Amino acid sequence: MNDIKQFLRSNALRPTKQRIVIAGYLFDGTDKHVTAESLSTELAKRKHIISLATIYNTLHDFYENGLLKKLTLSADRVYFDTNTDDHHHFYSEKEQFLIDINKNIKVNGLPKTPRNKKINKIEVIVHLDK
Amino acid sequence: MNDIKQFLRSNALRPTKQRIVIAGYLFDGTDKHVTAESLSTELAKRKHIISLATIYNTLHDFYENGLLKKLTLSADRVYFDTNTDDHHHFYSEKEQFLIDINKNIKVNGLPKTPRNKKINKIEVIVHLDK
DNA sequence: TATCAGTTTAGAATGATTCTAAAGTGTTGA
DNA sequence: TCAACACTTTAGAATCATTCTAAACTGATA
Ligand SMILES: [Mn+2]
Ligand SMILES: [Mn+2]
Ligand SMILES: [Zn+2]
Ligand SMILES: [Zn+2]
């Protein structure tokens, strides 16, 4: 709790009640993938009612400070990922199935990068079926 | 034009005026990535005004018949791809830059597929910066 | 050419996300 | 300690891509 406050301060974020609750949930040591909606639901289960606007604000604040990654897997919701290491995903849209691939993956045979551009990140999504 | 009609018929799609125009534009031999909006704009330039509802309907009809691929690269619009071969992409969200990687890419070091699931498709997105 | 299933369309609805602006709160310097 | 203020939260409105509705239209068929 004081660790969380320090953690927030060290990221130039005021430790408000809401941010403390959200950070406490997100950064509890287990990797998580959340959407604004799923986060709201989880917090509500724990009797922490925080407005959706604040949940969106906070996810973005954390993202902008590098505490979360953003995943675009489906067109109709954004996932935030507490695992900020370089990693990839198994994903099944139909089944809402999303898990990390933390093993080192190598992508071979890439053509040369287009002129005047530079690779920012290589993202591998392994789409699964039942 | 009659080729297009035949092409549509052979995919169990009635060759309506609108579908003929859209297919004529999309399947002209050059690979394209379009959104509903960009397609509407391109057709308008060519003096073909087709309602957005029909553009969405048609893109989905074509997609469902395997004539297009769907790409989820950004959370706020869906791209359709006329290149239906297995392939990957260079992408820059900021610059609206999206091009095919047709070269064979190999992804090595994948962990084993989760139990009772099967790999449907492996998608590699190379995110670019300026 | 009549019939009908399939198609198109305007406009309304949806739903995730963002915006607005007013009220609340953490920080800080005196 | 506390006033002052910048930062934050929030309800509710707005946005915007996409989907839906239901009425008019049209391609296929006999
Ligand atoms: Mn993850
Ligand atoms: Mn949406
Ligand atoms: Zn992850
Ligand atoms: Zn492509």
Q: What is the pTM of this model?
A: 0.92
Say how far residue A87 (Cα) sits from the centre of its chain: 12
8 Å CB contact between A108 and A116: no
Say how far residue A11 (Cα) sits from the centre of its chain: 17
pLDDT at B49: 98
pLDDT tens digits, one per residue of B88-122:
999 998 888 899 999 899 999 999 999 999 999 99
Give chain A's domains with CATH numbers.
2-127 (1.10.10.10)
pLDDT tens digits, one per residue of B62-73:
999 999 999 999
Indicate the SS3 state at residue A41.
helix
Judge if the beta carbon of B16 is closer than 7 A to nucleic acid strand D.
Answer: yes
Closest by CA to A104, choosing from B105, B88, B106, B108, is B108
Tell me which DSSP letter residue B103 carries. Answer: S
The burial of B108, by beta-carbon neighbours within 10 Å (0-12 exposed, 13-18 middle, 19 or more buried), is given as exposed
pLDDT tens digits, one per residue of A1-20:
789 999 999 999 999 999 99
For residue B52, pLDDT over 90 is answered with: yes
Q: Which tokens go with B3?
A: 């080729």
Tell me the CA distances in angstroms from A76 to A36, B20, B97, one per residue in order: 12, 30, 21
Looking at the complex, report in whole angstroms how far the Cα of residue B25 sits from the nearest Cα belonging to chain A.
25
CA distance A21 to B34: 42
- Which nucleotide is closest, CA of A78 to its C1'? C16
- Nucleotides on strand C lying under 7 Å from protein C-beta: 6-11, 15-20, 25-27
CA atoms within 13 A on the CB side of A102: 6
Q: Which tokens go with B100?
A: 């095919």
